[in-house]
Every structure is written in structure tokens, then in C-alpha cells.
């Protein structure tokens, strides 16, 4: 039985913070710019001013605050972070996320104060089809390059800065409105809203995007184009990927029809630096052309450029990263393996030949964490994924941290080049019950128990592991009162954010003295 | 090429120095002008911003303005200087020489500078210009918002960097010929030493230091300039040094924003606060932003003597809540102490012998927050300078101006209704368990952006600037163009409060027709001065008859 994509049962809010990662000693840390952290969906926050594998142990991570945004069973989306906006009430660090009834929140993430809360004007007023699940998507503009030093500070003591503000200079002129800071939201009725990041008010009239009542994932804005995936056919909207070009209010929509194939994963399409999109799919209810595949799409037009077809459906959104001069794409599959593809030729001549394929690490056929994560450490490329049950008997990882019975995190180290590229099994974590998709923050892997798509029970626990060894560093114990409905955590500037099924947002981290 | 324009007494009615015709003045002002002057023996100097080198703001020897006659304060005159605003700046605080020999006889003379490299001297009694000078020089002077090209209209300059002469002058003691030197730094960094009587040069000008300078301080023979945007935080020169060697110290990060410049303690150490930036002792050079720093001159070099950095400096950095006030220095039972504050809106009490303890992060005492609950760097917090005085019982008070509402958790025993836009907070120094504390005493009535205060004969002279302080708006975001803020300003209002209780004794009401920015109130010899953005100087004075029966 296919696992229900619990994202689809949520109000999906995807927010993209400024692409620039702010200087560690500036205002705020790296920006978690969209679901998955960046358009490449790496789930990797490269630096952090306070969280490290050392500080996770001592002084230790802790629950900083929690806020129940909706009472009862209320799905929230992954918070995305804007660590520094110069707003009309001062410098703010905002976490944006969505909730039921097309509600978008902006919360001062240092102080746990609501900055604004708005209900989209195009919110559904009648009953939605069951397949829709009441999803919205929210995002801000992102860039495809590597995170750059941000405008973190003010630095008024020095000589006049160059015309382009240097790192450490206050980024005045772009602090409050428009450009990189506009919040884009897609309502349950498929309308795109451009929201004032300071107030949540519409900047322009909403524009028709997907229309209907599609269930969205992975919304992101790149070069003034909003992209999002429609997870499965619903309400007359085909599954696939959609784009709307908002340049000068053109509002032209293009789409890639997956021909009935379900879009896999929680994070939608992933982007290469040239703008190419990669979308993973699962089984199809109709035409199998794009089923169980990773498809490369042209930017803006969304024309299919290439594809790779696997024996089974994918269970995660793709991640995109570079290895030397090559761009690689990776995703987890229902066969319990991670596939690595060369973005230049996804599956070779037969569209079925991956660059590398990991050893099997999962046997849970109904398990889908929704995402994998990838990071670099000392020049080594790592990929971590979740398994929803015991490891296969023949799985051999370099380091184990206990017996994996009900699930855990596994990590691979990418080695070799070209056709000799391999995924070397590196470590397994302690036992974690059906964990959700992991993320990585400054050398620490975070994962949530009962956090996989469709896990849906009990009370989740947030775990921290050493990204190099998988060693236990910390866990949240009984701090959370509900489970996490398939939404990976997000992180930045010393805090990790988790949403639970009872409508509560939790912030864990290392306190910053106020 | 530098060009100096000097206008003598006769030029007072020319160009920018337009005087109001008598018929334009309120009738009360005409009456006041006709009254007799106060006895010469009562007249004192207000020779430096903040009243003394310690920047106490305490006008100790005032003999005319009292609680008994404060209610008779009336508008004496107003003088339109014609100073061209730059960014948000207009005129700086007025300085006063109680008795000065001029070509027209002995007069009480006021000195005020305008941001556009103007210096004005006026007859306190009549409000007429005695002389004025203007300096022209080749730019660079000022910048556009965010460091971009400067706009043609100086009113549209970025408010962080107005260019021009933002420093308040300082008046030195009489020389052998009885001449009073006025020290003033123009926007090109040149130090001018002028005869207060006629504006002539007493010394050839020389290059001192540029940037956005704040009030000059003259301690002994050392002239101090606190500045920002110029590659140094503090500059100093010994006036008796024939080489005029300029000594500087740079905090490495964070500008210096205390409006009264540095405060100098009994050892000659100059203290100030460093603004928004990074505190990092591992960098080379080290960086001391978000701190209270003390520098001293040692063998012709300016060196950091000591400093205090709050343990929460990263938070201050993150939200731009830096200490930005000129500290105030005072003695309590023979012990010298420093009080400092800033946009975060709490007071620090420091011992200048060990400002932050061994780790430089341990103050003698710090208060809880008394404003800025919103954590807003622009509309809230304490700005400008602290003040301090000792009441007749020997109790020591510290006074902090602030913007925005009082913090909901701040507990002042005496208050005067809701404070939404700003005001003055008064703390009393107390000893508990052998340790010093600053205990909340009173908070004033609401003022639109409370500004640094003076203390005169048991009264606090403060004002709300009426300035629009917001830098970012919901509709247009963050914009540096000063004209946007300028258009939203209201009016400045002077308040005289009882210094023990905070009770309002007098206010200027709606008599001042415009706001000001980063200026300052002056109160001396029975008169109170405040200026506006457009360069109009207002003088309020007590009724002469009341003054005579003080």
C-alpha cells in the first residue's frame, strides 16, 4: 500500500528566505531559504553561529520555545527563515510557515512573537476535493548560486563602504519590501499571492497559477518565476511541475505534465545552477512515460530534457550538488537504495543507467521519508537518508551506533569519479522510529522520529547526530507533545524548527543571551 | 580650494542670517526684549555640550532659572539662521558665554553651528546675529543612502552620513588678551580656532579629523573629537603642541554615536560608546563594537585603557541595539563612576578603574530594560547622552532620555500617564548589601522622542524632538532619503520637570513650529534654547522681574 503523502494533508507553506547566507558574525546566520534549505534541496545549512557537534553536547541543545498556532489537528508547513529583515518595527528574524485555512504566519523566531498572520484572500470558501488536502505554498525569491556572505551588519565605524555594501554592512535599501524579501504564497485555490514581508498584505492582485485545488510541494521563486510541483492529479489539475512568470506581471503559466505519475518527495523539484529542474516521480495512475523517474526540465518552459527511469518509484525529492566539474542528482527509491545520476546525462543512452547506486539500506516498502540530505565535510561529499525499519541483513556500514530496528539514519560517502563513482556506506545511527527526512546543520545531522510521511503516531523526538560518525549527540526527549506529520525540520542561526500535528511550532537550539 | 565667508555685525540681516522683524515677534517677546538684563555677576558660561567634561548635563551654577520663576518662561525671540539642512541635520546645541567683550560692548553671546559648515554668534539679549561664518571646501561631504552617490539636494542625503559640520563646538578659556576661542571642526576635518567676539581666526586652521563628528570636548589642553565614518572613533590633539599631532584610536567596528562626544574622567581618560558592530578580540586589529570604551593619551599615542562589553553583545548586534549614548561620569562618595546606555534601553554602571571587571563584561550594575520592549532600533531605545546630578541631600541621580513606550515590566514609583512616544527616565543611585544599584525613581510624561536633558536648579530640562525616526516603512521598506523622514516630522517641545519627582513644571507647548534631529537643548542664565531642522533658533526666557526676585 502506498504511503499517504502527509504533506498533502497539510497546509503546505514553503517560504524562501534571502538566498544570501548571512555572515556568522552578522545579523543572523545562514538563511533556510526554502523547503529543503535551498533550491538544490540539500537540507544543508553550512554554518551556524552557535550549533556545532561540540555545542550540541555542551552546553547542549534545548527547547527554546513553542507556540501552538492552531488548536486540534492542524497541519503546519516547514518553517523557512529570514534571519534579518529591517522592518518598520526594527530588525527582525522571521520564521514563515503556513497553516490550515490558507493562513500564513510570520513569527519573530528569536522572541516567539507573532509578527503578522494573514489569511490569503483567495482562500477556498467551499468544500475542497478530498485529494486536495487544503494545501497552500509560500515562498520567496532564491538564487541558484552558492550562498554568499550576507549583509549582516552595520559597521559604521569604518571608512565609507564601496557602493556595493560589503559583508558586515547593513543592507539598507532592500530591507523591507519587494525583491528578495517578498513572500509568495499559493493558495488552496491555486492563486499566487505576492505578500509584503512586513505585513503579509497583498502587493499585487493574486494571479492564477495552477488553479483548481491542487496539492502542491516545493514552491520556490527563481528569477521572478514561481515553481511548484503538483503532487498528484486532483480537481482537474494534472500532477507535474508548474511555473508562473511574474515578470512585469506577465503571469504566464507553463507546466510539465507528469502524465498521471505522482511527484515523489516532500520538497518538489530541485534546481541545478543553470536553472534546470529535476523532479522525481513515483507510480502513475495512467501513462507510465514519466513514472518512477527523475526528469530534467528546462527552466521556465518546463520542457522535458532528459530522464532516468528506475525499477520502482522514488521516495524522496531529488537533491542536486556538484562533484568536481559535474552536477549530480540523487534521490532515494522504494527499492531501498539511493541513486546518483549525472545531470548531464541522467540515465545514459538507455535512460536507465545511474552513475551510482547505493547498497540497499531499507526494506520498508511502504516507507517514504520524503527527502534526503547532502553535505560536504573536508572535501568529502556525504548523503544521508532515512530507513523505516531494520537494515537489510547484508548491509555493511563502516560505523554502527546501535541496532536499527524500527528505523534510523544512514550515511554514505561519495567516492570515485565518473563511472567509478560509488556510495560508500559510512555510518548508521541509533534506532529511530520511522524517522523523517534528515537535515544537516554545521556538522550535525538532525532527524525526527515518527516524522516520515505517513508515520502519524505517538510523540516525535528530535535527534542530533555527529555528521561524520552518526554518534548520538543529543535528543529532545519528551519535549514534544505530538508527532511530526512528514515535515522535515528547518534550521538556522542557532535554532532548529519542528512542527507537530497538533499545530505547534517548536524551536530547539542554543540560547542567545538577550 | 577653501573659501571662507565672514560676515560682521552689519551682516546679520543679510543672506541666511535674517532676523525677524520686531513686528513679527510675539508681543511677549517684544516685552521681554525691553526688560533689563540680569545682573552680570549672575551670568555664567555654557561652554560645552553637556555642561562639563564629564558630560553630566548639570548646569551647576545657574543663578537665574529657578523653580520659582520657571512658570514665567516665555518666547523671547527666534532667529532664522538660514542654515541649509543636510540630511536631517540643522543646528547643533547652543553654547553661551555669559560675558564677552565685543566691539559693541560686553555682551552675553550665544554660539551655534549649522550642519552646512556655518557658525553663528548672536546677542543673547536681542537675538540679533553678531557674526556668522561659512566655509566652503571641495567635497567629499556626505553621501547618498547606503553609501551611494550623493544627491544634489542636501536634504535628500542619507541620514547616516550627512556630511558637513555635525560637531558642536567648544569654547575655551580666555587667552592672555581675554579673547575666548571657539573650537570648531568643519566638514573637511579642519579645526578652526575663532575669536568668539568677532569670528576671526585666532590660530591658523589645521587638519584635525573628519567624519561624522560629535560634540568637541576640551579637557585641559586636549581637544577631543568623537567621530564615525572616518576610520577612527576618537581623535585628539593637544592645543599646546606646536606640531599639532593628531592622535586617534579606532574601535575597529561600530561607529561612535554619542552626541555629546566623549566624557572625560578625572584621570583624563575619554569614555564613549561604540555602536553597532562586532566584538572580536581574535581579529587583527581587535574589534570593540557594542561596548563602552575608555582611551587615554600615553606618550603621544592614544591607547585603549579599558572597556566594557555586555555579555549579550551578539543580541545587540543582531537587532542593532548598541550602546549609542555619550556616557556620563560622576563621583559618588568620592568614588568615580560611569553610567552608559543605548538603544537596548538599560543602564550600565561602571567603575572607570575597571570598567567591566577582569573579563571586561561585568558591570558594577545593570538595570533591567526600561523601554524598547519591541526590540526596535529606530523608534525606541535610549539615544544621545545620559545626564547626572546630585540633589541637595547628596543623592546621585542618573537621567536617561528614551524613545517609544516604557517597558511594560519597568517599575517606576512615579509616573505621569501612559508613555508611548518617549520621555525621560530617572534613576537614583542606592546602596544595597554593600553594592551600588540604580533604582528607578520616576518616568516623565510622554514626549515625542525624548532627548538628552540638562539639570538646572533641581529641574530637568528636556525635550521631545518631534522627529520621525523610522527608517523602514511597510510600504517602501528601508529608505535612506532623508527627505522622506523630514516630511513626517512634527514639532519639538521643551519640557521642564521637577528633578526629584518628574512632575511637569512648564512646557513650550506648540510654540516651536518644527522638529529637530540630533540637536540638543541649552539652558543657562535664565534662558532655554532649542533649534529646528530649518535652522530657526528659539530662545525662551524667564520674566526679568521674576528673575530678579529669584
Asked whether residue A357 is assigned to any structural domain, the reply reads yes
User: Mean pLDDT across chain A, nearest whole number?
Assistant: 85
pLDDT category of residue A14 using cuts at 50, 70 and 90: very low
The larger pLDDT score, comparing residue B288 to residue A133, is at: B288
DSSP E strands, B404-503 = 422-432, 435-443, 454-456, 459-464, 472-473, 477-478, 493-498
Q: Is the pLDDT confidence value at A159 over 80?
A: no
What total of structural domains would you count in chain A?
A: 1
Give the model's pLDDT for residue A130.
66
CB contact under 8 Å between A157 and B377, yes or no, is: no
pLDDT category of residue A175 using cuts at 50, 70 and 90: very low
Read off the pLDDT of each residue in B299-324 and give the average, rounded to a whole number. 97
Asked whether residue A398 is assigned to any structural domain, the reply reads yes
Asked whether residue A158 is assigned to any structural domain, the reply reads no
Asked whether residue A514 is assigned to any structural domain, the reply reads no
DSSP string for residues in B170-205:
EEPPP-TTSPPEEEEE-TTSEEEEEETTT--EEEEE
Give the model's pLDDT for residue A166.
30
Asked whether residue A209 is assigned to any structural domain, the reply reads yes
- Domain that residue A410 falls in: 6-153+168-509
Minimal Cα–Cα distance from B279 to chain A, Å?
9
Q: Is the pLDDT confidence value at B68 over 60?
A: yes
Instruction: Report the residue from B254, B375, B378 with minimal CB separation from A157.
Output: B254
List, in sequence order, the alpha helices (H) in B394-481: none
DSSP E strands, B284-412 = 287-288, 292-298, 301-308, 325-326, 328-332, 335-340, 348-350, 365-366, 384-385, 387-390, 396-403
How many Å separate Cα A355 from the centre of its chain? Answer: 24
Give the model's pLDDT for residue B147.
53
Q: Are B385 and B451 in contact (CB under 8 A)?
A: no
pTM for this model (two decimals): 0.90
CB contact under 8 Å between B478 and A513, yes or no, is: no
Give the model's pLDDT for residue A453.
77
Other CB atoms within 10 Å distance of the CB of residue A102: 26
Q: Are B398 and B390 in contact (CB under 8 A)?
A: no
Would you report the helix, strand and coil content of chain A in percent, each value rounded to 5? 5, 40, 60
Q: Is the pLDDT confidence value at A4 over 90?
A: no
Q: Is the pLDDT confidence value at B251 over 80?
A: yes
Q: Is the pLDDT confidence value at B8 over 90?
A: no
User: Chain B residue with minimal CA distance to A203?
Assistant: B475
Across the A:B interface, residue pairs with CB atoms under 8 Å apart total: 149
Asked whether residue A353 is assigned to any structural domain, the reply reads yes
Instruction: Report the residue from A169, A173, A176 with minimal CB separation from B473.
Output: A176
Give the SS3 label for residue B483.
helix
Which CATH number do you get for residue A140?
Answer: 2.140.10.10
CB contact under 8 Å between B470 and A88, yes or no, is: yes
Q: Is the pLDDT confidence value at B228 over 80?
A: yes
Asked whether residue A160 is assigned to any structural domain, the reply reads no
Q: Are B256 and B292 in contact (CB under 8 A)?
A: no
> What is the grid cell recorded at B239?
592645543
φ, ψ of residue B224 to 5 degrees: the values are -110, 140
Asked whether residue A162 is assigned to any structural domain, the reply reads no
Chain B positions in Cβ-Cβ contact with residue A115 (cut-off 8 Å): none
Other CB atoms within 10 Å distance of the CB of residue A121: 13
Other CB atoms within 10 Å distance of the CB of residue A286: 13
CB contact under 8 Å between A89 and B376, yes or no, is: yes
Q: Is the pLDDT confidence value at B233 over 50?
A: yes
Give the model's pLDDT for residue A65.
98
The larger pLDDT score, comparing residue B517 to residue A188, is at: B517
Chain A interface residues (partner B, CB cutoff 8 A): 25-28, 49, 84, 86-91, 93, 110-111, 153-163, 165, 168-170, 172-178, 181, 196, 198-199, 201, 512-514
Q: Is the pLDDT confidence value at B256 over 90?
A: yes
Amino acid at each position: 500500500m502506498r504511503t499517504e503523502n502527509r504533506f498533502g494533508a497539510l497546509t503546505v507553506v514553503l517560504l524562501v528566505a534571502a538566498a544570501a547566507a548571512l555572515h556568522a558574525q552578522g545579523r543572523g546566520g545562514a538563511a533556510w531559504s526554502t523547503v529543503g534549505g535551498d533550491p538544490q534541496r540539500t537540507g544543508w545549512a553550512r554554518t551556524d553561529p552557535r550549533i556545532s557537534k561540540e555545542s550540541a553536547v555542551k552546553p547542549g541543545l534545548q527547547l527554546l520555545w513553542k507556540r501552538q498556532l492552531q488548536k486540534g489537528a492542524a497541519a503546519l508547513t516547514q518553517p523557512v527563515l529570514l534571519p534579518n529583515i529591517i522592518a518598520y518595527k526594527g530588525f527582525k528574524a522571521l520564521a514563515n510557515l503556513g497553516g490550515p485555512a490558507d493562513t500564513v504566519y510570520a513569527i519573530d523566531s528569536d522572541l516567539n512573537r507573532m509578527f503578522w498572520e494573514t489569511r490569503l484572500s483567495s482562500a477556498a470558501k467551499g468544500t475542497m476535493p478530498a485529494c486536495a488536502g487544503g494545501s497552500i505554498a509560500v515562498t520567496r525569491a532564491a538564487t541558484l548560486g552558492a550562498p554568499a556572505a550576507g549583509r549582516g551588519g552595520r559597521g559604521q565605524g569604518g571608512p565609507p563602504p564601496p557602493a556595493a555594501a560589503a559583508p558586515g554592512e547593513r543592507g539598507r535599501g532592500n530591507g523591507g519590501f519587494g525583491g528578495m524579501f517578498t513572500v509568495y504564497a499559493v493558495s488552496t485555490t491555486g492563486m499566487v499571492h505576492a505578500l509584503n514581508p512586513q505585513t503579509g498584505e497583498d502587493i499585487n492582485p493574486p494571479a492564477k497559477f495552477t488553479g483548481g485545488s491542487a496539492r502542491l510541494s516545493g514552491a520556490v521563486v527563481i528569477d521572478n518565476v514561481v515553481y511548484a510541483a503538483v503532487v498528484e492529479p486532483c480537481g482537474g489539475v494534472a500532477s507535474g511541475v508548474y511555473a508562473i512568470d511574474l515578470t512585469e506581471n506577465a503571469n504566464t503559466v507553463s507546466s510539465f505534465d507528469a502524465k498521471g505519475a505522482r511527484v515523489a518527495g516532500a520538497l518538489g523539484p530541485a534546481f541545478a545552477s543553470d536553472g534546470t529542474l529535476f523532479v522525481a516521480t513515483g507510480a502513475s495512475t495512467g501513462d507510465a512515460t514519466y513514472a518512477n523517474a527523475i526528469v530534467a526540465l528546462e527552466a521556465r518552459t518546463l520542457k522535458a530534457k532528459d530522464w532516468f527511469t528506475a525499477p520502482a518509484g522514488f521516495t524522496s525529492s531529488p537533491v542536486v550538488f556538484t562533484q568536481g566539474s559535474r552536477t549530480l542528482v540523487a534521490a532515494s527509491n522504494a527499492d531501498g537504495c539511493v541513486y546518483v545520476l549525472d545531470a548531464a546525462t541522467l540515465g545514459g543512452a538507455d535512460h536507465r543507467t545511474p552513475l551510482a547506486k547505493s547498497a540497499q539500506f531499507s526494506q520498508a516498502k511502504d516507507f517514504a521519508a520524503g527527502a534526503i540530505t547532502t553535505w560536504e565535510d573536508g572535501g568529502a561529499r556525504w548523503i544521508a537518508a532515512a530507513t523505516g525499519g531494520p537494515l537489510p541483513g547484508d548491509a555493511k556500514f563502516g560505523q554502527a551506533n546501535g541496532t536499527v530496528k524500527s528505523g534510523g539514519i544512514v550515511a554514505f560517502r561519495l567516492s570515485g569519479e565518473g563511472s567509478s563513482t560509488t556510495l560508500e556506506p559510512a555510518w548508521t545511527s541509533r534506532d529511530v522510529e520511522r524517522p523523517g527526512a534528515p537535515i544537516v546543520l554545521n556538522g550535525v545531522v538532525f532527524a525526527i522520529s515518527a516524522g516520515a510521511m505517513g508515520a502519524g503516531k505517538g510523540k516525535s523526538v528530535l535527534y542530533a547526530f555527529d555528521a561524520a560518525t552518526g554518534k548520538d549527540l543529543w535528543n529532545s526527549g519528551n519535549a514534544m507533545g505530538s508527532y511530526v506529520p512528514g515535515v522535515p525540520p528547518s534550521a538556522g542561526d542557532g535554532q532548529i524548527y519542528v512542527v507537530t500535528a497538533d499545530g505547534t511550532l517548536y524551536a530547539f537550539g542554543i540560547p542567545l543571551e538577550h | 580650494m577653501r573659501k571662507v565667508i565672514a560676515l560682521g555685525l552689519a551682516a546679520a540681516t543679510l543672506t541666511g542670517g535674517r532676523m525677524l522683524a520686531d513686528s513679527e515677534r510675539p508681543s511677549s517677546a517684544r516685552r521681554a526684549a525691553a526688560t533689563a538684563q540680569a545682573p552680570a555677576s549672575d551670568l555664567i558660561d555654557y561652554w560645552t555640550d553637556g555642561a562639563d567634561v564629564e558630560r553630566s548635563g548639570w548646569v551647576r551654577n545657574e543663578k537665574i532659572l529657578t523653580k520659582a520663576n520657571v512658570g514665567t518662561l516665555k518666547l523671547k525671540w527666534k532667529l532664522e539662521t538660514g542654515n541649509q539642512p543636510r540630511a536631517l541635520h540643522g543646528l547643533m546645541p547652543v553654547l553661551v558665554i555669559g560675558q564677552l567683550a565685543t566691539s559693541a560692548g560686553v555682551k552675553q553671546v550665544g554660539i551655534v553651528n549649522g550642519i552646512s559648515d556655518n557658525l553663528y554668534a548672536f546677542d543673547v539679549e536681542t537675538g540679533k546675529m553678531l557674526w556668522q561664518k561659512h566655509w566652503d571646501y571641495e567635497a567629499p561631504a556626505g553621501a547618498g543612502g547606503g553609501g551611494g552617490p550623493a544627491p544634489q539636494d542636501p536634504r535628500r542625503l542619507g541620514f547616516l552620513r550627512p556630511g558637513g559640520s555635525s560637531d558642536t563646538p567648544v569654547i575655551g578659556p580666555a587667552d592672555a588678551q581675554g579673547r575666548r576661542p571657539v573650537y570648531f571642526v568643519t566638514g573637511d576635518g579642519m579645526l578652526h580656532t575663532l575669536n568668539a567676539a568677532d569670528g576671526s581666526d585666532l590660530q591658523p586652521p589645521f587638519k584635525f579629523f573628519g567624519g561624522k563628528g560629535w560634540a568637541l570636548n576640551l579637557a585641559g589642553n586636549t581637544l577631543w573629537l568623537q567621530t564615525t565614518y572616518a576610520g577612527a572613533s576618537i581623535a585628539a590633539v593637544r592645543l599646546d603642541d606646536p606640531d599639532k599631532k593628531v592622535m586617534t584610536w579606532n574601535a575597529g567596528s561600530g561607529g561612535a554615536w554619542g552626541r555629546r562626544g566623549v566624557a572625560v574622567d578625572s584621570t583624563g581618560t575619554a569614555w564613549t560608546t561604540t555602536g553597532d558592530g562586532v566584538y572580536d578580540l581574535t581579529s587583527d586589529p581587535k574589534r570593540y563594537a557594542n561596548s563602552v570604551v575608555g582611551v587615554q593619551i600615553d606618550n603621544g599615542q592614544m591607547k585603549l585603557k579599558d572597556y566594557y562589553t555586555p555579555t549579550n553583545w551578539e543580541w545587540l548586534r543582531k537587532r542593532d541595539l548598541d550602546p549609542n549614548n555619550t556616557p556620563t561620569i560622576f563621583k559618588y562618595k568620592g568614588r568615580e563612576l560611569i553610567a552608559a546606555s543605548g538603544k537596548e534601553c538599560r543602564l550600565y554602571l561602571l567603575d572607570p578603574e575597571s570598567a567591566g571587571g577582569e573579563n571586561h563584561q561585568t558591570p558594577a550594575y545593570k538595570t533591567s530594560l526600561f523601554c524598547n520592549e519591541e526590540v526596535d532600533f529606530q523608534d525606541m531605545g535610549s539615544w544621545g547622552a545620559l545626564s547626572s546630578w546630585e540633589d541637595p541631600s547628596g543623592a546621585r541621580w542618573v537621567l536617561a532620555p528614551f524613545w517609544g513606550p516604557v517597558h511594560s515590566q519597568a517599575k517606576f514609583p512615579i509616573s505621569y500617564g501612559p508613555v508611548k512616544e518617549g520621555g525621560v527616565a530617572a534613576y537614583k543611585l542606592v546602596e544595597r548589601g554593600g553594592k551600588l544599584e540604580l533604582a528607578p525613581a520616576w518616568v516623565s510624561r510622554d514626549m515625542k522622542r525624548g532627548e538628552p536633558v540638562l539639570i538646572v536648579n533641581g529641574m530637568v530640562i528636556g525635550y521631545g524632538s518631534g522627529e520621525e525616526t523610522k527608517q523602514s516603512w511597510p510600504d517602501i521598506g528601508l529608505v535612506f532619503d532623508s527627505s522622506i523622514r523630514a516630511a513626517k516630522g512634527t514639532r519639538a517641545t521643551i519640557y521642564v520637570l521637577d528633578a526629584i519627582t518628574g512632575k511637569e513644571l512648564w512646557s513650550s507647548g506648540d510654540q516651536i513650529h518644527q522638529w529637530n534631529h540630533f540637536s540638543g537643548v541649552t539652558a543657562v542664565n535664565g534662558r532655554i534654547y532649542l533649534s529646528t531642522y530649518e535652522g530657526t533658533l528659539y530662545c525662551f526666557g524667564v520674566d526679568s522681574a521674576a528673575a530678579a526676585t529669584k
